[in-house]
Structures are given as structure tokens and as C-alpha cells.
Amino acid sequence: MTTLFDRIWDAHIVAPLPGGAALVAIDRVLLHERTGAAALNSLAAAGRAVADPSRVFAMMDHIVDTLPGRTDQTLMPGGQAFITETRAAAQAAGITLFDVSDPDQGIMHVVSPELGIVLPGLTLIAPDSHTCTQGALGALAWGIGSSEAEHAMATGTLRLTRPRAMRVTFTGTLSPGVTAKDMMLALIAAHGAGGGAGHVVEFAGESVTALDMEARMTLCNMATEFSAFAGLIAPDDVTFEWLKGRRYAPQGAQWRAALSGWQTLRTDDDAVFDCEIAIDAGSIAPMVSWGTSPQASVAVTGSVPADAAPAMLDYMALEANARLIGTPIDAAFIGSCTNARLSDLRRAAALLKGRKVAPGIRAICVPGSSAVRRAAEAEGLDRVFLDAGFEWRMSGCSMCFFAGGESFAEGSRVISSTNRNFESRQGLRVKTHIASPETVAASAIAGAIADARAIRPLPLRGAGRAVQRRRERGSGEGKSIPPSPTLPPKGEREFG
């Protein structure tokens, strides 16, 4: 009778509150430098301390520059203050900080799973809407505002009204060349950008359980674009194997105890959801957005809808019924908490290998974390991107949204592996088309929106070398595709 969401929620209720709300225990709080200083300074100004600093982590991702050789300085006037003030506030509060030059620096929703900060069954919040990404590991993870972050840090709890439960079941098998990104864009296109409002959405079905850990993160990442409270996937052996040995994951006897609890984190067969949606995964094609909301997305082989909103057509400089394939682009971006993990970069690189970005196209790749960047470089992916004509950046949120004041040229058309195609998000009047890393890579080569399935990917010899190295260290467990990114050796030595 019980859903996965019910199990996690009920285990975290500290006390009921009047009016049907509850005081809910929060296990992890993450901060970033855009709002971290504001939240920590506001707490300090009120004379309040962080209740348990060991469970609060701050990351530098939102403002920090991503150009090689970066410092605290940013293109944006005043950007440096976000970094220096967050650093000072984090140190004063005694929380763990992954600073600009830290080997573990990166986008919080990439770094937290890499280090095992997020674990199955936990409640995790951050003043960042894409916190739902981390529901991929079977945690209840959601975005909040700065005031709620202050509340969680001061009290270890949040005051919440119980969300409703929805299940989205992807039946059948994905077609070749179709990814988790396309699954989410298809869901949002079919059911609207507000379709998940008020609900915690559990993603289920054979094509979800078949996804690797990183693809599951892509799926849950865009639960917020569905307006869901959170996205969630039941943890399974894929999750457990991926987490084992990560720095903040339990070790030894505690791992075994944790694992036996995590194995019960699933939805009962007879559980009833407030809402159910089923989608035939086999019918999903690679998707691309044409408008200024993620719901304005169609199959890349399709056309702008005949009844498209005039305001969106005007902004995007597109006409109703126009085919998407062949629409000329000015720039291509691979990055963000949605699609900048090692597997994303590998799939894009396999298409870019031996090919060139079309003349005049600005193409940028920003790895999701410093660890992803190192792992990609160890495989030679940086050379593939650079040889194709991409810029190869340091890790951060970057031009997903103007981070650090950097943006694409005014009015330009960008194909982007990010999550939002809002007006002017990637620069003034920039026209953003969101799509998978494959579609971005293929479009960069073509100089226009393209179907990646028409390009034959080439084998990347480097990926094999990385497998070899993991096996030698005895942590690869003979997998044909190694979990990525590779574990920091320091963590293994301390807790292995």
C-alpha cells in the first residue's frame, strides 16, 4: 500500500504541525555561491548558528568563471563578491566548502552524487531548483528558496505540507539514439510544464530501470521543468554499485546495515498514486525545443506546431509548421547539471571524433565537475572536443544561464544540452533550443539543427584505457562501462 515517497517522507516526520503540515527532518543541505552568502549571512545576522555543520556543503558553481586559468574574478561586475563572501561565510559557519580550486569543485548536482553526499532514503535540499536531480539515487531531494535553506540549517527541519504522489511509467524499450533527456522532454511536451505541480514524481518502468546512474540523474534533473516537487527513482543494484566506496557513503559494517535498509526503499505493488501517467518509451524520438518553455518541444524530425503561440514564434524567429532540422544555429553548448557527466561527454565525443564544427559556429563544452573533466582528459575526450573546434572549459554552471556574466551573442540561436529555454537565459534575446548532447554535437557539425542518428559514432579508444586503469586499481569490478567519474583515491584510502 506504500509508495517509495511515503516511506521516505514518513521516516522523516519529526512532529505534526497545525493545519496538516509536518516538521520534516532534513539530512543534507547544499549551498552555492549565488545564494550561499545571503543565507549564511542572514542566519548569522539573526544570531543563529548552523545546527549541524557536518551535514551542510557549499559548492562554487553558479558564479565562478569557467575559462582556463580562472581566479575569483568574473566577467560580471560584482561577481567576485559572491565567491569571496560565500567562502568567508562557509568558513565562519564551519561547513564543508568545495572551493574554486578544489579538486572536487563542480556543479552541486554532479559533485554531490560523485562524493556520495546524497544517499538513498535521505532528504536533501538546496536553494537550487535542479536539486531534484539527486532523486535519481532514491533520495527525496528538492529545491527551495534561501529562506527555507536558512530554516533547514538553523533547525535541521522544514515545515512542509505533504505533496501528492505521481508515478510516470515509461514502458517498453528506448529506440537507439534516444536518451533520458528525450524521455523528459517528451513527458513535458505531452503533459505540460506544470503537469507535475504539487506532486513527487516517481519514475518507473523497464526503460527507467535500464538507464545507467548518470542517465537517471538526467531524467530526474528535469522534474522541476515538469513543476514537480521532486523526482524519484527507486534505488537498485545499479544505484548501490555506483555509490559503494564514494567518500561520504557509509563504509564496512555501516555500508551493509545501510544497504539492507535501502533495499526496502521501493513502492509496494498495491500502492495507489494520486496520479499515474504511462508513456511508451519506444515511441519517443530525439527531441528538441522550438519555443521558450520546455513544453514547447517536438521530435527533432518534426515541425513547429501549427498552433504555436505567436509570442514564442516571434521571440524564436520561427514560423509555424517550419521543420526543425536544418534551422541554422550560431552556437552549441554542452554542459549543465542535466547533461555534462562523463557518459554525456563520451556520447557527444563519439559523434565529434574526426569531424569539425561547422564554420562560424561557437561551440563550448563545460564538464559538470572537475572530476568529470579529469576523467574525460584521461580518456582523451578533451582532444576530441578541441580538435572538432569546441572550447574545453573548467567546470561550472557556465552559460546555461549567464553564470559569471558570460553569455552567447545577443540574439544568437543556440543548441544546448541544458534544461531551460527561457527568454534571454543564455544571453540577451538568445534563442535556446534544448536537446540531448548527441543532438547538440550533430547540430554543431551541421551548423544547423540535425538528427544525430544520421551520423555514425566512432569508437573512443581512450574509454577502454580508463576501464583498464580502474581494473588495475581493483575497483572496476569488471564492468564493461566503468561508473564515472572515477573515485578520488583519497576517499578510498581513508574509508576503503
Supply the minimum distance, in Å, between the C-beta of residue 241 and other proteins.
17
Residue 179 neighbours by CB distance under 10 Å: 26
Q: Confirm if 205 and 117 have CB atoms less than 8 A apart.
A: no
Residue 3 main-chain phi, psi, to 5 deg: -90, 160
The nearer residue to other proteins, 8 or 288, going by C-beta atoms, is: 8
Residue 97 main-chain phi, psi, to 5 deg: -120, 130
The nearer residue to other proteins, 146 or 209, going by C-beta atoms, is: 146
Q: Which stretch binds other proteins (CB under 8 A): 98-106, 214-222, 337-345, 398-406?
A: 398-406
Q: Which residue has the cell 523526482?
A: 231
The nearer residue to other proteins, 48 or 383, going by C-beta atoms, is: 48
Supply the minimum distance, in Å, between the C-beta of residue 123 and other proteins.
10
Supply the minimum distance, in Å, between the C-beta of residue 311 and other proteins.
7
Residues sharing a CB contact under 8 Å with residue 67, sequence separation 6 or more, in sequence order = 393, 394
- β-pairing, 297-299 vs 287-289, is antiparallel
Size of the site for other proteins (CB under 8 A): 86
List 105, 134, 293, 343, residue binding other proteins (CB under 8 A): 293
Distance CA 279, CA 190 (A): 10
258 contacts other proteins (rule: CB under 8 A) = yes
Q: Which residue has the cell 553526499?
A: 117
Distance CA 385, CA 407 (A): 20
Q: Which residue has the cell 574509508?
A: 495
Q: Which stretch binds other proteins (CB under 8 A): 31-39, 272-280, 299-307, 453-461?
A: 31-39
337 contacts other proteins (rule: CB under 8 A) = no
List 151, 167, 353, 433, residue binding other proteins (CB under 8 A): 151
The nearer residue to other proteins, 464 or 489, going by C-beta atoms, is: 489
Distance CA 271, CA 291 (A): 37
Three cell numbers at 231?
523526482
Distance CA 157, CA 12 (A): 9
Residue 387 neighbours by CB distance under 10 Å: 14
Query: Which DSSP category does 324 fall into?
Result: S
Three cell numbers at 416?
544546448
Distance CA 9, CA 26 (A): 10
List 49, 92, 311, 317, residue binding other proteins (CB under 8 A): 311
List the interface residues with other proteins, window 313-332 (CB under 8 A): none
List the interface residues with other proteins, window 189-218 (CB under 8 A): 192-194, 197-198
44 contacts other proteins (rule: CB under 8 A) = no
- β-pairing, 413-416 vs 331-334, is parallel
Q: Which stretch binds other proteins (CB under 8 A): 227-235, 263-271, 317-325, 346-354?
A: 227-235
List 61, 65, 72, 150, residue binding other proteins (CB under 8 A): 150
List 156, 235, 476, 483, residue binding other proteins (CB under 8 A): 156
Supply the minimum distance, in Å, between the C-beta of residue 141 and other proteins.
13
List 65, 104, 148, 451, residue binding other proteins (CB under 8 A): 148
Q: Which stretch binds other proteins (CB under 8 A): 19-27, 214-222, 335-343, 469-477?
A: 19-27
List the interface residues with other proteins, window 45-104 (CB under 8 A): 46, 48, 52-55, 76-78, 81-82, 85-86, 96
Distance CA 420, CA 76 (A): 21
488 contacts other proteins (rule: CB under 8 A) = no
List 30, 111, 122, 279, residue binding other proteins (CB under 8 A): 122
SS3 313: helix
List the interface residues with other proteins, window 399-458 (CB under 8 A): 401-403, 405, 407, 420, 422-425, 428
Q: Which residue has the cell 543564455?
A: 426
